[in-house]
Amino acid sequence: MHVIPQLIVSTLLLGGIYALIAVGLTLIFGVMRVVNFAHGEFLMLAMYVAFWAFSLLHFDPYLTLVVSLPLFFAAGWASYRVVMRPVIHASHNVQIFTTVGLSIALQNLALVLWTADARFVRTDYYAVVVRIGGAAFNVAQIVAFVVAVGFTAGLFAFMRWSYTGKVMRATAQDRQASALMGIDTDRVYAVTWAVGIVCVGAAGVLLAPIYPVYPTAGLQFVLIAYVAVVLGGLGDMVGALIAALVVAAVEVIGSYVIGTAWKEVLYLLLFIGILVVRPAGLFGQRGAEALGT
Amino acid sequence: MSLLSVAGVSKRFGGIVANRGISFDVVPGELVGIIGPNGAGKSTLFEIITGFYHPDEGEVRLDGTRLTGLSPDAVCRRGVARTFQKLRPFQGLSVLDNVMVGALTRTKDVRHARERARELIRKVGLSEKADAHARTLSTGQRKRLELARALATEPRILLLDEVTGGVDQRTIPELVRLVRDLHAGGLTLLVIEHNMRVITAVAQRIVALHLGEVIADGAPDAVARDRRVVEAYLGQAYVQ
Amino acid sequence: MSAIAPAVVFFAVAGLAPLVVRDAFLLDSLVLILIWGTSAAAWNVAGGYAGQISLGHSAFFGLGAYAAALFGARWELSPWLGLAVGAVVATAIGLVIGYLSNRLRGPYFVLATIAFSQVLLIVGSRWRGFTAGSEGIPVPFRPGFWTLGIADKRVWVWIVLGLAVLAYLVQLYLERARRGYQLAAVREDEDAALSLGVPARRLKVAAICVSAALTAACGALWAQYIGFVDPFYVFSVDLSVKFALAAIIGGLGTALGPFLGSALVTTVETYLRAQFGGIGAGLVGIYLIVYGCALIVMVRWVPQGLVGWIGDRLRRRAVARVAP
Ligand SMILES: Nc1ncnc2c1ncn2[C@@H]1O[C@H](COP(=O)(O)OP(=O)(O)OP(=O)(O)O)[C@@H](O)[C@H]1O
Ligand SMILES: [Mg+2]
């Protein structure tokens, strides 16, 4: 029986990508106290970037990944300036509708520009299969996993050791105190937002060789990221990482046991269950959800 | 017969003991002051009496019936009203609507509630602001609003958390007079107050808390001179 | 508190229009304005008056639509019965979501409501045996009032107007009655409301249940009117956003606002669809881009919505006239 190792490796591969999406989302929440409902749309746009670079310029997605990171950063920075900055001190409801509005606008921009057709990035190595412990895996999945893990590790290192990362963490802990200490919180928010977008952008490019892209492609992935982020405790990066693996495990095992058609119901119910039982996440303190008010 | 009785109430937050075995009674018509340095556990005690926190031990009774275990709205309907230390007016509603919310707890008739609210707004001296949004009020006016709102629920006992805190010097006497008037009108009050001059002047009795415990309970003069109270407020050095 | 005169005019115009207007396109627009306006008003009961922002209201709409369609197509029963059953089921789910609203705040509550509508989307699109799956359900046309097989759009205007007026009256109640004052207090500050004896939790749950039932009723009528139920549409997040958008544009927590918002949103949508629909199928997305941008702009710059904005203007003009 190769089932168990196959399930384990599948979980890891999937979890790596989910982690990268979730980490950006939770970073933005942790520092800015904003749930980015447009996160999935940035993922979708990044997938399109990979697609067009591939079909027009014949760029391999992994080459695109390298060259597009500054692009994502710039897009993140610009979207912060134009859309988020005016509402950064507004109420939660205003912020929610702002990112929801951004999500709708971006999604339909893609629809208008590129139609609803599903598009594929078909690399030469698309069908190349690697065997691990008797189980077969797509090479793109493995690359995606390795890069995503490296990327997430890089982000952790950045948050821990770089000056900017420390400032971001300080701001996450206490906005007002940070502002009083002379931290330019506006700049911190801009960087945070941009870094979050870079993470999800990288994830999008990595997903492009594996999944088809269409204007609403972001939703399914970002729903999973929401689950992981809430499970790990909104704003908790390590929590999000572990939770991404948990969600991946639920998905992989769920698909195996009850079939792929219903696997989403499984993690959505998991999501609602967690919201009810432990809104602050598996590792968080009870009552922390009041921070959300 | 006591109206409010607090019996052996304890509350912990993680490692912090905010209340430890607190017991005291308030008889009808009494005005009892609660004093204590910052973090003594005064507000926590209010939260427990009004049902916002559940005590780890002990219980609170109103006129013999248990309040502990009831939800805050049920506690209010039994006749315990309160103000908040950090003021919480309904920012987006007018002063009149704010007070009406309180009045509607006692009457189902909106028109009657409106009349009652106007009366109370006049009583606390906010009449010219009746139609203004609560968010446009000054701190002193907000205190009056919270007072009127709480009174509108027709409490048997009123809990005030910091009557004069954060209010400018000129407004203090007016607020003190208001509290005195309420007491003179027969209302029972439990008042947290930092300003010693104010509290010794209005209270018939003072309960002093320190580090979550009752360290003195008695006549204002006696409590103000109590060695432990002076210690708690000024530190050991001053006593010796 | 809003005056009811503008609403009387609005509903009177809508009700009398079919006597004058014969143009099918205009009547169709009117029916849709009323349906989306009522849905937005239903959303407003929870989102505007109770302050419980949901982006999962399409769950209730879809439930109503499926109930009506299944009752007609599968069991050959009256869609009115379907409407009633849909409303009851929606109320039951409203109880669950209401329970969640007492545990979750802000973004957490929004996420939970989205998750709910997604669960129903998956059930609707995958449970082939029951719902016909992702192809959706065509609603059979069986002539008659009891079967809601009505070809005359004028009659549709009046049917939908009935529900619209009901939704309006519910909102008016929330502005004038005791429970309305209390709910406003809960929206502003739940703890302060509790301290004044307001049964905050029960009120929130009740508001969400009423909102859910009304939304389901809208879904049922819509399904009968359009004649087809597509799970990917009726359970979509976009549809939930549409309800919220019309309410926000019209004026959150105002009784007429959702209807005015719907009039504007639906008209713009119809116009843009007509303008760009012919050029390329993808271009229909343009109105949604406009929606998204409108949402961003409205919540930031005109949070009081059309009703509030017009009210401000009138008041200022009145003041200017009085002042010398
Ligand atoms: N919700 C809570 N969670 C954790 N600790 C709390 C909580 N509420 C109060 N405390 C702690 O309990 C102790 C007592 O607080 P409390 O607010 O009752 O003091 P207080 O006497 O009202 O002080 P002040 O005069 O500053 O208002 C403090 O150490 C405070 O930090
Ligand atoms: Mg206090």
Residue with tokens 């979550």: B212
**Token pair in block for residue A155:** 């982000």
All residues with CB under 5 Å from ion ligand 2: B 43, 85
In the three-class reduction of DSSP (H, G, I as helix; E, B as strand; rest coil), residue C198 is classed as: coil
From the list C178, C189, C199, which residue is nearest B90 (CB)?
C189
Name subunits touching C (3+ CB pairs < 8 A).
A, B
Taking only the tens place, the pLDDT of each residue in A112-149 is 888 888 888 888 777 777 776 667 777 888 888 888 88
Taking the CA of residue B209 as reference, the ligand 1 atom at the shortest distance is 21
CATH H superfamily, domain B1-79+156-240: P-loop containing nucleotide triphosphate hydrolases (3.40.50.300)
Partnered with residue B124 across adjacent β-strands are none
Sequence-distant (≥ 6) Cβ neighbours of residue B161 within 8 angstroms: B42, B43, B46, B82, B83, B84, B85, B192
Q: Please indicate if any CB of chain C lies within 8 Å of the CB of B127.
A: no
d(CA A138, CA A63): 19
CA angle B129, B177, B97 (to 5 degrees): 25
Q: Which of C299, C301, C302, C304 to mutate to test the interface with A (most CBs of A within 10 A)?
A: C299
Q: Is the pTM of this model over 0.80?
A: yes
Please report, as a single letter, which amino acid is at residue A165: G
Instruction: Provide the pairing of β-strand B213-218 with B205-210.
Output: antiparallel
DSSP codes of every residue in C109-170: HHHHHHHHHHHHHHHHHH-HHHH-GGG-EEPP--BBTTTTB---HHHHHHHHHHHHHHHHHH
Taking the domains of chain A in order of start, what are their residue ranges? 3-214
CA A190 to chain centre: 18
- Give the domain ranges of chain C: 5-235
Residue A178 or A78, more confident: A78
Residue among B60, B36, B129, B43 at smallest CA distance from B89: B129
- The shortest C-alpha distance from C55 to chain A (Å) reads 10
- Give the sign of the dihedral formed by CA B205, CA B208, CA B214, CA B217: negative
Instruction: Tell which residue, C32, C213, C68, has the closest CA to residue C140.
Output: C68
Across chain A, what does the average pLDDT equal? 84
Is the per-residue pLDDT at B237 higher than 60?
no
Closest CA to B46 of B77, B88, B17, B80: B80
Name which of C194, A121, A119 is nearest B76 in CA terms: C194
For residue A27, what are the β-bridge partners? none
Report which secondary-structure segment, H or E, holds B188: strand B188-192
For chain C, list residues with pLDDT below 50.
Answer: 1, 324
pLDDT at C38: 97
What pairing do the DSSP bridges indicate for beta strands B31-35 and B188-192? Answer: parallel
Phi, psi of B53 (to 5 degrees): -115, 150
Nearest atom, ligand 1, residue B212 CA: 14
Tokens describing residue C202: 């029960």
| A293 lies within 8 A of chain C by CB | yes
Tell me the per-residue pLDDT of B78-91, one tens digit each, with 9 for 90 and over: 999 999 999 999 99
Q: In chain B, what are the domain boundaries?
A: 1-79+156-240, 86-154
Q: Mean pLDDT, chain B, as a whole number?
A: 91
Residue type, C46: A
Q: Phi then psi for A122, rounded to 5 degrees?
A: -105, 90
8-state DSSP, A213:
B
Could you report the per-residue pLDDT of B34-44, keeping only the tens digit for each?
999 889 999 99
Atom 7 in ligand 1: residue holding the nearest Cα: B13
pLDDT at A268 over 60: yes
Which of helix, strand or coil describes residue B71? coil
Residue A290 binned pLDDT confidence (cut-offs 50, 70, 90): very low
pLDDT of residue C126: 79
pLDDT at B23: 94
**Searching chain C, which residue's CA lies closest to the CA of residue B150?**
C196
Residue B228: pLDDT over 50: yes
Which pLDDT does position C253 carry in this prediction? 87
- Cβ contacts of C176 within 8 Å, gap of 6 or more: B110, C1
Give A292 to chain C, closest Cα distance, Å: 6
A292 has a pLDDT exceeding 50:
no
pLDDT digits (tens, 9 = 90+) for C252-280: 888 999 999 999 999 988 887 777 765 55
- Residues C291, A94: C-beta atoms closer than 8 Å: no
The mean pLDDT of A22-47, rounded to a whole number, is 91
DSSP A282: S
Q: How far is CA C28 from CA A211, A275, C34, C220, C323, in A?
A: 40, 42, 10, 17, 46
Q: For residue A286, give how far its alpha carbon lies from the nearest alpha carbon of chain C (Å).
A: 11
Half-sphere CA count of C184, side-chain side, radius 13 A: 27
